[in-house]
Amino acid sequence: MTDAQPDPRDPRPLIGEPLALDLLNTRWAGTPVNDLLTDVEGYAIWLSSAGLGGRCAADEAGLAAIRQTREAILAAARDAREQGELGAAARDGLDAVLARGRIRRTAAPGGAEDRIEADGPQWLAPWLAADGFLALLGEGAHRVRQCAHEACILHFFDASQNGRRRWCRMAVCGNRAKAARHYVKARG
């Protein structure tokens, strides 16, 4: 979870997952699928909710870069979930984003200080999301999950002690699944 306060304009049903998964959650179920990143205004809302509004400008170049990153993280999350590791194409997609930035370590009064440098302002948020995804994989690729509800496409990081979280939100998707099972049982 992040310390950022969600932007009140943010319409997404699940906000506050780690940055990489929060980026994936800019798409959510609907007909057609809802997508916050269809325009610069939606990108600005996501940046604000992610706590990056003051560090990253919402413009067309940034929107294109963040969409590329979302696709790269989605492919990597799918590989992690289905194969337990990243395939070559998923690694290449993440590496293409990660090549646009770096961590520069400098000496500060209190010791070392890490500064993130990006090839341009449009690459800061994408680089942070891709780097954050690698950090999540380091904590356990099996904990990067997609909601188990068949109609839900949201992602979350399972931080539960036993690693058995199945739903993006128990109160919504978990409840729907329980109600569906109850309905089938009652009719059968």
CATH of the domain at 78: 1.10.3300.10
The Cα angle at residue 47 between residues 144 and 119, in degrees rounded to 5 = 90
Is 152 a domain residue? Answer: no
Give 108-123 pLDDT, tens digit per residue. 999 999 999 999 999 9
The answer to whether position 24 is within a domain reads yes
In a domain, 165, yes or no: no
29-84 pLDDT, tens per residue? 999 999 999 999 999 999 999 999 999 999 999 999 999 999 999 999 999 999 98
- pTM more than 0.85: yes
Which uninterrupted H or E stretch holds 108? strand 101-108
pLDDT at 3: 58
- Using CA atoms, how far apart are residues 3 and 82, in angstroms rounded to an integer? 31
Confirm whether 125 is domain-assigned.
yes
Where does the pLDDT of residue 161 fall: very low under 50, low under 70, confident under 90, or very high at 90 and above? confident
Give per-residue pLDDT as tens, 71-128.
Answer: 999 999 999 999 989 999 999 999 999 999 999 999 999 999 999 999 999 999 999 9
* Residues of the domain holding 26: 19-140
The verdict on residue 36 lying in a domain is yes
Total domain count, the chain? 1
Closest CA to 20 of 80, 87, 82, 85: 80
**Structural domain includes residue 156:** no
In a domain, residue 47? The reply is: yes
9 domain residue, yes or no: no
Q: Indicate if the pLDDT at residue 159 is higher than 80.
A: yes
Q: Which residues contact 117 (CB under 8 A, 6 or more apart)?
A: 101, 102, 103, 104
